[in-house]
């Protein structure tokens, strides 16, 4: 079922999105009604009781019990409705269903990575099956980030040194935009991701393919696959074009100038260090913006990336 959202809200694609929206609209429209009553009442009364001369004085009114009870009881009831409605929705969003699939979410400057129980690590893309509750166990490796999927009405901070928990269930297949919604540094606005909701069968295929990632490939081919999947591609070109980082084309075995003024030969050790701890040696003319891949790439994946970079001759 395709639903493209409304003027007020993006499409509602998680199981609890409708509850969030219902309450939002209730608060919106009661506010609109009260706003109109106050503003038009004010205008009406200003005109009706405009002072027309010294003889027309208003009587000294001290109070009006009926009016005071009305404007106390009605707002109190409205607030109670909002509280009960909101609390029920909140409980629904906080209590993770028992049979949820657990996925570890790690935020760091400036990308999201997702670890599955099958040992798969996916960078920038959260792949989930439709119709199944998904539990996200979220943390950060550096500063506070915040995971936000507007279509799911899902938002949760990623905090260093602790876990935060969120869950969702998406029933519609498709792709949903994922944002970082906590300002976390210069590349914050580019800290985006995708949620891909697949059918159960497609999800199982995806898990099978990815848990065998690299099998049957040469080291170079595996390296190319990692280059495309692990977030290298947006910043490092293969054709000599300068992007956020240096191009990989023909760099192996050559000397490069660093921001410190020193020069270094691009060899296996330099590439390894630059992947795991990129801030150590920055090539002159570039900013130290690359995230460290320590703990994200396995040793054989680093080997594969080195083999791939080696293969990119001028």
3-state secondary structure of 44: helix
Number of Cβ atoms within 10 Å of the Cβ of 46? 9
Q: Give the residue with the Cβ less far from ligand CUA, 150 or 223.
A: 150
Q: How far is CA 291 from the centre of its chain?
A: 17
- Within 10 A of 90 (CB to CB), how many other CB atoms are there? 14
Q: Is 91 helix (H, G, I), strand (E, B) or coil?
A: helix
When the beta carbons of 17 and 107 are compared against ligand CUA, the nearer one is 107
Site string for ligand CUA, 82-111 (x = CB under 6 A): -------------------------x--x-
Which residues between 109 and 128 bind ligand CUA (CB under 6 A)? 110
Q: Which of 123, 182, 195, 236 binds ligand CUA (CB under 6 A)?
A: 182
Shortest CB 106 distance to ligand CUA, Å: 11
Does position 149 bind ligand CUA by CB under 6 A? no
Number of residues forming the site for ligand CUA (CB under 6 A) = 9
Extract the tokens encoding 155: 């938002």
Nearer to ligand CUA, 21 or 182 (CB): 182
Interface with ligand CUA, residue 304, by CB under 6 A: no
Question: Among residues 168 and 179, whose Cβ is nearest to ligand CUA?
Answer: 179
- Count Cβ atoms below 10 Å from residue 184 Cβ, excluding itself: 21
CB of 186 to ligand CUA, least distance (A): 10
Token pair recorded at residue 87: 């609390």
Per CB under 6 A, the list member of 127, 149, 180, 282 interacting with ligand CUA is 180
191 part of the interface to ligand CUA, by CB under 6 A: yes
Structure tokens at 292: 């460290």
Told to check if 145 binds ligand CUA by CB under 6 A, we report yes
Query: How far is Cα 66 from Cα 79, in angstroms, rounded to an integer?
Result: 20
C-alpha torsion 160→163→168→174, nearest 10: 40
- Alpha-carbon distance values, 261 to 228, 255, 270, 289 (Å): 31, 12, 16, 19
Which residues, in sequence order, are bridge partners of residue 102? Answer: 135
Return the residue of 188, 194, 272, 281 that touches ligand CUA, per CB under 6 A.
Answer: 188
Q: Which residues bind ligand CUA (CB under 6 A)?
A: 107, 110, 145, 180, 182-184, 188, 191
């Amino acid at each position: 079922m395709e639903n493209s959202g409304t003027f007020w809200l993006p499409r509602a694609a998680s199981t609890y999105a409708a509850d969030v929206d219902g309450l939002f609209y209730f608060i919106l429209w009661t506010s609109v009604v009260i706003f109109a009553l106050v503003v038009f009442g004010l205008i009406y009364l200003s005109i009706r009781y405009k002072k027309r001369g010294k003889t027309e004085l208003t009587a000294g009114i001290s109070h009006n019990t009926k009016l005071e009870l009305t404007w106390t009881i009605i707002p109190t009831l409205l607030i109670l409705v909002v509280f009960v409605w909101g609390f029920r929705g909140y409980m629904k969003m906080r209590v993770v269903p028992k049979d949820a699939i657990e996925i570890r979410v790690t935020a760091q400057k400036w990308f999201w990575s997702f670890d599955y129980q099958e040992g798969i690590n996916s960078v920038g893309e959260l792949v989930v099956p439709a119709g199944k509750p998904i539990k996200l166990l979220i943390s950060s490796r550096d500063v506070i980030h915040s995971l936000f999927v507007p279509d799911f009405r899902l938002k949760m901070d990623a905090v260093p040194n602790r876990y935060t928990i969120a869950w969702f269930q998406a029933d519609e297949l498709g792709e949903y935009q994922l944002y970082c919604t906590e300002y976390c540094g210069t590349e914050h606005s580019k800290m985006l991701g995708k949620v891909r909701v697949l059918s159960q069968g497609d999800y199982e295929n995806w898990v099978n393919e990815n848990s065998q990632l690299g099998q049957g490939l040469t080291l170079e081919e595996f390296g190319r696959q990692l280059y495309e999947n692990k977030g290298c591609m947006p910043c490092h070109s293969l054709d000599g074009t300068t992007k956020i980082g240096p191009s990989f084309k023909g760099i192996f075995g050559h000397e490069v100038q660093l921001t410190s003024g020193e020069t270094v030969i691009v060899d296996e050790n330099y590439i390894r260090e630059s992947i795991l701890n990129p801030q150590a040696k920055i090539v002159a003319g570039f900013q130290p913006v690359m995230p460290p891949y320590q703990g994200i790439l396995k040793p054989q994946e680093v080997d594969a990336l080195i083999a791939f970079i080696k293969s990119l001759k001028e």
